[in-house]
Structure 1
Amino acid sequence: MGTKGTPMLDSLGHQSPPVDLRTLSGTATLGLAPRPESVRRARDFTRSTLHGWRLPEQFDAVALVVSELVTNAVRHGVGVRPTTFDEEGHAYDGGERSAVELELMRCSGRLICAVQDPSAAAPRVGEMDGVAESGRGLHLVECFSDGWGWRALAGERRGKVVWAVFRTGA
């Protein structure tokens, strides 16, 4: 976790979000294990980051999008790995590396949420089915953000990054 460094979207070229990254005023990054409980951790991280940036009014929409993007990354980008347990039955990380990365970036009048995973497969917007419990994630991202997209990572980095942009009015 950190708030310094080069944003993962810097090298993505023309398919990056429609913002000028030269106006970047803050970044916050969180590595996540490929497990379902990482979605809650991502929401908690988003809440504290937005609070620190004095953008708590953005939390509901951004948290919903973060939840959907992290869920998709865990389910489709890396798959779910079983939780490791110690001798006393307590769950632990087991030293596994972060397979999913959440990055929040604050730019002039914009907030960007980017989720990176190791899969090069393009995200797919599923068919809307009123009774299905899944398949609505990217529809929700589309509805609650001001735009979204994705880009395959280049160079030695493998996988993709899926991003969503929010207007902050600031």
Structure 2
Amino acid sequence: MLEPLRQGLPPLDPTAVSNAASCALPARYEAVREARQFTRRTLDQWDAGHRFDDVCLVVSELVTNALRHALPAVAPRPARGGEHEPPQVRLHLMRWTERLVCAVRDPSNDSPVAREADDFSAESGRGLFLVDSFCDSWGWHPLAGTLSGKVVWAMFRLPSDVRLRPEG
């Protein structure tokens, strides 16, 4: 699961991931709520709920951007019968001892575009400004090989005194 995400992530040892969780999100705006619920459950399981507000805001913005800008212009409808599945956005949460990364994978090869700070009054385009304000670092990277699209990630520092709860 982590191999396509390691392309473009900050230099963290992928073998030292303490926890990882992922969910596919359908191509509809209700997916943002599903992403927040998934994030809440996952952070609670990892005893990292104290970072929920910041992480949730960033997850919401990244998923919204993927749905709005990375999917085809015509919003796909849910697949029925023999129809093809619409392109999906995928949310990944990964935890290292002192870092949490949320990454949103989408099918577009277009780079995310942040608005300038002086354009904050624009009706849209503030998402990446908020992401930058609430996480410790963020970035993006196109996927390589047979995978098309990109991963946009945001990293959060976690206090070193928070102990990981073993999965079980």
Report the TM-score, using the length of structure 1 for normalisation. Answer: 0.83
C-alpha RMSD of the superposition: 1.8
Contact 1:34 1:79 survives alignment (8 Å): no
Cα distance between partner residues in 1 of 2:34 and 2:127: 18
Gaps of 5+ in 2: 163-168
Contact 1:74 1:80 survives alignment (8 Å): no
- Which amino acid in the other structure matches residue 66 of structure 2? A
Cα distance between partner residues in 2 of 1:76 and 1:56: 29
Cα drift, residue 130 of structure 1: 4.1
Cα distance between partner residues in 2 of 1:38 and 1:80: 17
Cα drift, residue 17 of structure 1: 1.8
Q: 2:79 maps to which residue?
A: 94
Secondary structure of the equivalent of 2:144?
coil
Cα distance between partner residues in 1 of 2:157 and 2:87: 29
Could you give the per-residue CA deviations for residues 13-41 of structure 1, whole angstroms, max 9, x where no partner exists?
A: xx322322221011110101111111110
Gaps of 5+ in 1: 85-92
Over the matched positions of the two proteins, sequence identity in percent amounts to 49
Equivalenced residue count is 155
Cα drift, residue 97 of structure 1: 4.6
Contact 2:92 2:102 survives alignment (8 Å): yes
Cα drift, residue 70 of structure 1: 0.3
Secondary structure of the equivalent of 1:105?
strand
Could you give the per-residue CA deviations for residues 53-75 of structure 1, whole angstroms, max 9, x where no partner exists?
A: 01111100000000000001001
Contact 2:79 2:86 survives alignment (8 Å): no
Q: Find the partner of 2:27 among 31, 34, 38.
A: 34
Report the TM-score, using the length of structure 2 for normalisation. Answer: 0.84
Secondary structure of the equivalent of 1:59?
helix
